[in-house]
């Protein structure tokens, strides 16, 4: 139905009130647009979390002083699927078998659980952080990694590493507690924590059936930066100078 302004020749023009149905239709369109924007934002967030980046928090002290307990980090999931892993990268990976001890999960309020589940869906929370580990890549497939030389340094392919990122106890100069001499198999990594004497890393698990190696397929991605707390915001370096002379291992 079409409405228009009517005129009275004696009283002048008199506007007719807008129809109620038109107002209702305007609100419905507005609410529909808001809903579509919200759903699009959810979809985009889900796709970003699934294929590009996602958030994790740090549950242990094994990477101190680089990463502290409860730090939030942003992880690039394009590595290793579309980008090669490099020496020095800090990577998040799934338990290769027996590295994590089973943990009791206390029941949570249904409302808190629903909120956490929603945040996990869009990539703003990481309730599965305790099911993952984070370490620094020291050896790539084909590398020979040895601890330690006469100066207490780890060597990779015979090249001693100057490691500015490691955290050692006072008066300790040896790069890690455990001695080892390994060649990294194809499709595997040798990883170590920066807090070397308090990290259950590859050297700690060297006598396991896995030999302490982490399958590349278990890697979720590379940690790019600390996103929280704000005063610790920083990009995570992979220290290319430290590994500059190591070279690329020959294919096996």
Catalytically active residues are 62, 135
Q: Please give the C-alpha separations between residue 13 and each of 2, 104, 128, 198, in angstroms, as whole numbers.
A: 18, 77, 69, 86
Distance CA 108, CA 129 (A): 17
Over its C-alpha atoms, the chain yields an Rg (Å, rounded) of 28
The answer to whether 54 and 123 have CB atoms below 8 angstroms apart is: yes
- DSSP 8-state symbol, 60: S
- Identify any residues that bridge with 56 across adjacent strands, giving them in sequence order: 73
Token pair 């990779």 is found at: 156
The answer to whether 223 and 133 have CB atoms below 8 angstroms apart is: no
First-residue to last-residue Cα distance in the chain: 79
Distance CA 75, CA 55 (A): 6
CB atoms within 10 A of CB 205: 20
Token pair 């194809």 is found at: 186
Distance CA 86, CA 141 (A): 11
Sign of CA dihedral 65, 161, 218, 101: negative
């Amino acid at each position: 139905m079409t409405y228009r302004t009517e005129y009275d020749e004696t009283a002048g023009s008199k506007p007719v009130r807008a129809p109620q149905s038109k107002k209702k239709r305007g609100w419905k369109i507005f609410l529909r647009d808001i809903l579509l924007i919200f759903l699009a934002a959810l979809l985009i967030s889900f796709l970003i979390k699934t294929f590009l980046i996602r958030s994790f928090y740090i549950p242990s002290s094994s990477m101190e002083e680089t990463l502290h307990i409860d730090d939030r980090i942003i992880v690039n999931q394009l590595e290793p699927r579309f980008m090669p892993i490099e020496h020095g990268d800090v990577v998040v990976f799934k338990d290769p078998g027996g590295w994590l001890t089973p943990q009791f999960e206390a029941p949570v309020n249904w409302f808190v659980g629903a909120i956490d589940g929603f945040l996990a869906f869009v990539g703003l929370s990481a309730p599965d952080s305790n099911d993952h580990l984070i370490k620094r890549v020291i050896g790539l497939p084909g590398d020979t990694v040895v601890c330690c030389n006469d100066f207490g340094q780890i060597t990779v392919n015979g090249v001693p590493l100057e490691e500015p990122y490691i955290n050692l106890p006072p008066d300790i100069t040896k790069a890690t507690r455990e001695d080892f001499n390994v060649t990294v198999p194809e499709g595997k990594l040798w990883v170590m924590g920066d807090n070397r004497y308090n990290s259950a890393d590859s050297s700690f698990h060297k006598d396991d059936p896995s030999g302490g190696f982490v399958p590349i397929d278990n890697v979720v991605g590379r940690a790019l930066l600390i996103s929280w707390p704000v005063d610790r915001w920083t990009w995570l370096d992979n220290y290319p100078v430290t590994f500059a002379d190591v070279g690329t291992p020959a294919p096996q």
